[in-house]
Structure 1
Amino acid sequence: MGKEVERKFLVADPAWRSLVEAHIRIRQFYVAAQPGRTVRVRISDGGSAALTLKFGNKTRERDEFEYPIPLAEAEELMAFAIGRVIEKTRHHVRHRGYLYEVDVFGGVLSGLVVAELETPEDVPDEMLPDWLGREVTGESRFYNASLALGGIPEIAA
């Protein structure tokens, strides 16, 4: 079991694009979601897949279990998806030694760009990159499960 400790931010400026080290095309969907627990399937670059279980209601920290699964089984599981399949491109961007994952959403969520920072320690605000916008950590409407079941949050539309 791992702990997922993350902060989420809206992205206010495209300056991050010149800093991208890598990107991954992601399709993900949920086969179960309720407060405090989700079961997600993620397909990365059309070549690998993982099943992820997340538990917890804390703002920044949840228990996470992740297992590789055969790609063919992930594709089959898509028939059991609740809500929509999320399409996004995840960009890896480093700033002051920290890795930010900048997700650019596609489909009905086009226009939404969210940056995640996973780190066990608090990063002081003055260490954050200027291209970050408002912090949305703990706002469940920005959780991927909420995006799959609902839609683009009004503030980001």
Structure 2
Amino acid sequence: MVEIERKFLVKSLDFKDIAFKKTRIIQGFLNTDKARTVRVRIRGEQGFLTVKGLSSKDGLERFELEKEITKAEAESLLKICEKGVIDKIRYEVLSGNHTFEIDEFFGDNQGLIVAEIELQSKEDIFETPEWLGKEITGEIKYYNSQLSKYPFKLWK
């Protein structure tokens, strides 16, 4: 249940032309403690409850446990979440043997686009599409739990 992923900013919208899937995601956080976050998410017509642990020092690894719940349960839990809801569209793009998940944010995080790729190991090699920008793996301000509290619109 350890997740290994790298995150990047996105420098162009070219990924939209090759995305094989597009899903709206609404999510909130029941807990945003640094040692553990508890997220409620509605992805399409499905609900999810996710617990994430503290990231490793390099930001590549962290514990993650996700359970599917009903959409109605997720909607109820969103009502008691901490302030700051994340609204985004997730695009999925194949690149070599991997899939990038690209999140285009709306609302208070409008203008931010982040790509992430899950890996089998820290040493896993992957293709880097030309629309991929600066690596932001481990930069806490880009975590959704932080974007809910300190949205992108306040950074400028």
Distance change >3 Å, CA 153–CA 132, structure 1 → 2: farther
The 1-side partners of 2:61 and 2:154 are apart by: 25
Query: Larger strand proportion, structure 1 or 2?
Result: 1
Q: Which runs of 5+ in 1 are unaligned?
A: none
Indicate the residue corresponding to 2:39 in structure 1. Answer: 40
Query: Larger helix proportion, structure 1 or 2?
Result: 1
Indicate the residue corresponding to 1:20 in structure 2. Answer: 19
Q: Partner amino acid for 2:12? A: D
Deviations 1:35-93 (A, max 9, x none): 12100001011x11010001122111111111111221211111211121100000000
Identity of matched residues, %: 37
Q: Which runs of 5+ in 2 are unaligned?
A: none
Indicate the residue corresponding to 2:86 in structure 1. Answer: 86
SS of the residue aligned with 1:72? helix
The 2-side partners of 1:77 and 1:101 are apart by: 25
Q: Partner amino acid for 1:34? A: D
The 2-side partners of 1:4 and 1:72 are apart by: 27
SS of the residue aligned with 1:84? coil
SS of the residue aligned with 2:67? strand
What is the root-mean-square deviation of aligned Cα atoms in Å?
A: 1.6
Indicate the residue corresponding to 2:66 in structure 1. Answer: 66
The answer to whether 1:129 aligns with 2:129 is: yes
TM-score, normalised by the number of residues in structure 2 = 0.91
Q: Partner amino acid for 1:54? A: K
Indicate the residue corresponding to 2:53 in structure 1. Answer: 55
The 2-side partners of 1:154 and 1:123 are apart by: 35
SS of the residue aligned with 2:14? helix
CA drift of 1:123 comes to 4.6
The 2-side partners of 1:88 and 1:141 are apart by: 17
CA drift of 1:22 comes to 0.5
The 2-side partners of 1:43 and 1:93 are apart by: 20
SS of the residue aligned with 2:152? coil
The 2-side partners of 1:142 and 1:123 are apart by: 22
Distance change >3 Å, CA 154–CA 136, structure 1 → 2: farther
Distance change >3 Å, CA 66–CA 124, structure 1 → 2: closer
CA drift of 1:154 comes to 6.7
TM-score, normalised by the number of residues in structure 1 = 0.91
